[in-house]
Amino acid sequence: MQSISVAIVACNEAESIGRTLASVSWASEINLVDSGSTDKTVEIAKSYGARIFYESWKGYGPQVNSALDKCTCDWILNLDADEWLSPELAQEIQALLSGQPRYAAYMIPRLNLIFGRWMRHGGLYPDHKLRLFRRGIARLREDTEPHATPKTQEPTGKLKKPMLHRQYPTFEYYIEHMQRYSTATIPLFLRKGRTSDSIFAFVANTVLNPVLTFIKNYIFRGGFLDGREGLIFHLNHSAYVNWKFTKAWEAHRATIAESVQSVAPNAPVGESGAPSSPE
């Protein structure tokens, strides 16, 4: 079998990392980039023979790329700390690398566990991710949103068996993550000019976009087939879309207000960010 490195980034993932590493214990090399765990993440990883690298958090894209750069084998399998291979997928990958793979990169279907239910509808499955590829042909964009996937210019194939993802075990966990993820997208939205400056853009991004997202995923893509868990997820995912645009708009408005104040520090600033007219 051709050699394969596993690349993982982690911080305080003791609850999940053992299951993840057990599913790839057959790999030639496991590289884990830890950004400051205070639980037993590193201790557990060492028990599986992982190579541990300590690096401060640089953002999702740069952190994953750092893990990819540390891989030395022919192939790379990129996993999040809360993802693991089904036994069938592990066998499929080993069989693939025992021969001559047709492609240099492969998409892997992902089955997500959300609120205790395996989600199979609403655009949540097969949820293909580019996770298996020859070393050096795929990387993440550095300005990407959290939990993006590597990109490549090479033709890609698709594997059949799924990797499993303990995505959001509880509603509280989901809300906490969506707050962090929506805040993390602010710099990306500002760089792309997605600041909802006009009233039309504001309504389209903060109202119409969330509503249409819900209709698309819950109704047309069958999210309603995932029961109450599906309804809860898709309602709140639509709210998350609103949060991203609202936070970017708010940050942009604050930037304008700061620039106005720096030019005219004694002028009162109105709601629009421009100096207020005297009464």
Give residue 279's pLDDT: 41
**pLDDT (tens digit, 9 = 90+) per residue, 198-253?**
999 999 999 999 999 999 999 999 999 999 999 999 999 999 999 999 999 999 99
Give residue 269's pLDDT: 54
Q: Which helix (H) or strand (E) segment is 112 a member of? A: strand 110-114
Give residue 142's pLDDT: 80
pLDDT by 10s per residue, the chain, length 279 = 899 999 999 999 999 999 999 999 999 999 999 999 999 999 999 999 999 999 999 988 999 999 999 999 999 999 999 999 999 999 999 999 999 999 999 999 999 999 999 999 999 999 999 999 999 999 998 877 777 889 999 999 999 999 999 999 999 999 999 999 999 899 989 999 999 999 999 999 999 999 999 999 999 999 999 999 999 999 999 999 999 999 999 999 998 888 887 776 665 555 555 544 444
Alpha helices in 161-277 (DSSP H): 171-184, 186-191, 199-203, 209-214, 227-263
pTM, two decimals, is 0.86
Give residue 108's pLDDT: 98
11 Ramachandran zone, left/alpha/beta (phi>0; psi -120 to 50): beta
Strand, helix or coil for residue 125: coil
Spatial separation of the C-alpha atoms in residues 122 and 265, rounded to whole Å: 51
Domains of the chain: residue spans and CATH: 4-167 (3.90.550.10), 170-263 (no CATH)
End-to-end Cα distance, the chain: 79
Spatial separation of the C-alpha atoms in residues 261 and 253, rounded to whole Å: 12
Give residue 144's pLDDT: 72
